[in-house]
Structure 1
Amino acid sequence: MSDRARAYLVLVLMPMFFSTNIVIGRAAVATVEPWTLAFWRWVLASLILLPFAWRGIRLHRAALLEQWRLIALLGFLGMVVCGGGVYLSLTSTTATNGTLIYTSSPVFVLLLEAIFRGQKIVLRQVVGIVLAVLGVVMIVLRGELARLLALELNIGDLGIALAAFAWAVYSVILKRPVFRTLPTVPLFFAISSAGALMLLPFMAYELVGTGRLPTSAAAWTSILGLAVLSSVLPFLAYQYGVKIVGPSITSVFLYFLPVYGVSFAAIFLGESFHAYHAAGFILVMAGVVLATAPLDAIRARRTSTAG
């Protein structure tokens, strides 16, 4: 098998790994407190990454320490808000809703880059943004405008929407030039470790209130699954794809994430797929593709390959 064929196989699996976060998380919050779940997920993920990151940490220690404030902010956004915050939200909503709402995050990235970096937005992207936002609204309102008028909004859905925005902020900060000189694995280790450290007081507060620690085999299987399947494997798969086929083509495969997520929610959690889910899915996916698909880059790559 050639490197490119192997890369495409890995990239087909990558969104499947990413989608397990919300599905496993939704199942796990029945037995593990949400902040505890997030804490142990990122502790284990950091320990798994440590052997791969150690050499880079030693070589770039000064640069990492210099950026400790931004790394701490990334840890808060990526692991606290998008970790424990998502799991807390999943106690009040379904994995199907969570997956579809979270899929809108790339649209928020585009908006933030337009506002704070002056990135030009073309008509195609404006249409995409509008469609994606309408899709999220459709899911949050469950297809009933009366819910908005009566302020009957699900707190879990709103929490997932907030996490999607937080992930967009995380992504924009991570694109800052100061991080381009740092190797990816050591940087990710530093961010995940910072996030785990910041999750500690949340877990401690939770423990004082509930007295519940994960003790069952099922609980630790969920935590290990989140650390490996939802954290380390998709991260490594994404980096491998970027290395072999480039970031533009690699990012396109992320559009399969809601397909996996909704399917897994139905198969493993027995969740129903309603008409408003279908409408929201179509709107969000059409919007995200229109707003973020790197069409010019893909065409250019195909042209150069054909030539």
Structure 2
Amino acid sequence: MRKPDSLAYVGIIVSTFFWGTNFNAGALIIRHMTPISASIERFLISTTLLLLIFGLQGKLRLSVLRENLWAYVGLGLLGFTAFNLATFFGLQTTTPINGALILATTPLWTMLLAVVFERERIDTARAIGLFFGLLGVGLVITRGDVQMLLALKVARGDAIILAGSLAWAANMVGTRRFVKQATPLENTTFSMLFGTIGLIVLGFMFERPLASIAATPGNIHAAVLYLAVGGSLLAYLLWFRGIHQIGAARTSIFFNLAPVFTMLVSTVLGVPPNAWQLVGAVAVILGVVFASGLVGIPTRARAAQT
């Protein structure tokens, strides 16, 4: 393995660590801050850093922003405003482990939306992946009690985070479909900018963000800073660098490590996963492995040639 590839893999693993521990930090933050105010503080920091660092380097083109303005407005509201609020509101009534496991199914929802809106085909491997992924989520949110699903008695927090996962999947499909001639860095920065504006508007409509932020203890601000710098800025940059170095297919599979890190940190903090969460985690990971194409199922035609 070449040194650049090795560094790319390290960066990808660090990204998934940040994303996995986002749920642990988020669960702590939400005990002391209102959800929209916490989101505003996090993304104001992230967006400002992105604009300053890469704007000064000339890597953010205003021509791209003008050409894709309305796409970025919609994608920002969907992928950053809605997704982030779903995470914080969901963590009020569910566990970090459940949240991370549900979010780990995002590649499956992305695949389904691509089938619906981009006419992609689902082959056997992807169908198997979808089955395992849905099975894993079902086990996590019902603890093996199918009657809960039949009676629609899913926990409110699980349902909210699932909606956030769908919003993020829609953001990814929408970025591919509606944004023209832009780099991943530009997509992230400009979408995050409008997502942050959406959060600020909602914050002043429904909360008192300045008062909430001012009354928050210092250690909670440190957790928000961790989310802003680690879970938003560094995680995205390392992830996109990994895609550039080793390709999207091999990079995407590491997304499955996020709930593993959430479980490890939760265990250290005295809240180990239950049996259904462990079984669900295995099913979700298998689902994304098959859906990503890393495990191929030979077709009849190919099998006949061998």
Please, what TM-score do these two structures have when normalized by structure 1?
0.88
* Alpha-carbon contact 2:28-2:220 (below 8 Å) kept: no
| Residue number in structure 2 paired with 1:111 | 112
| Residue number in structure 1 paired with 2:47 | 46
What are structure 1's unaligned runs of at least 5 residues? Answer: 297-307
Quote how far apart the aligned CAs of 1:53 are. Answer: 2.6
Identity, % of aligned positions: 25
| Residue number in structure 2 paired with 1:143 | 144
Per-residue CA deviations over 1:247-297 (Å, capped at 9, x if unaligned) read: 2222222221121122122223x323111112211221111111124457x
Q: Spell out structure 1 runs of 4+ moving beyond 4 A.
A: 55-59, 208-211
Any residues of structure 2 matched to 1:177-188 within 5 Å, and which?
A: 178-179=179-180, 181-188=181-188
Between Structure 1 and Structure 2, how many residues are aligned?
294
* Alpha-carbon contact 1:57-1:186 (below 8 Å) kept: no
Distance 1:106 1:242 in 2: 15
Distance 1:178 1:153 in 2: 35
Per-residue CA deviations over 1:6-41 (Å, capped at 9, x if unaligned) read: 222222222101212222111110011111111111
Q: Counterpart of 2:162 in structure 1: which amino acid?
A: A
Distance 2:124 2:64 in 1: 40
Per-residue CA deviations over 1:174-223 (Å, capped at 9, x if unaligned) read: 112633x2233233221111111000122223434995335320121111
Quote how far apart the aligned CAs of 1:51 are. Answer: 2.5
| Residue number in structure 1 paired with 2:61 | 60
* Alpha-carbon contact 1:110-1:292 (below 8 Å) kept: no
* Alpha-carbon contact 1:124-1:291 (below 8 Å) kept: yes
CA distance change for structure 1 residues 56 and 185 in 2, over 3 Å: closer, same or farther?
Answer: farther
- Single out whichever of 110-119 and 169-178 deviates more from structure 2: 169-178
Q: Counterpart of 1:227 in structure 2: which amino acid?
A: A
Any residues of structure 2 matched to 1:67-82 within 5 Å, and which?
A: 67-82=68-83
The reply on whether 1:196 has 2:196 as its aligned counterpart is: yes
What are structure 2's unaligned runs of at least 5 residues? Answer: 297-306
Quote how far apart the aligned CAs of 1:74 are. Answer: 1.2
* Alpha-carbon contact 2:90-2:160 (below 8 Å) kept: yes
Distance 2:218 2:196 in 1: 22
Per-residue CA deviations over 1:228-264 (Å, capped at 9, x if unaligned) read: 1100111111122122222222222222112112212
The reply on whether 1:290 has 2:290 as its aligned counterpart is: yes
State the Cα RMSD in Å: 2.2
Q: Counterpart of 2:185 in structure 1: which amino acid?
A: V
CA distance change for structure 1 residues 221 and 207 in 2, over 3 Å: closer, same or farther?
Answer: same
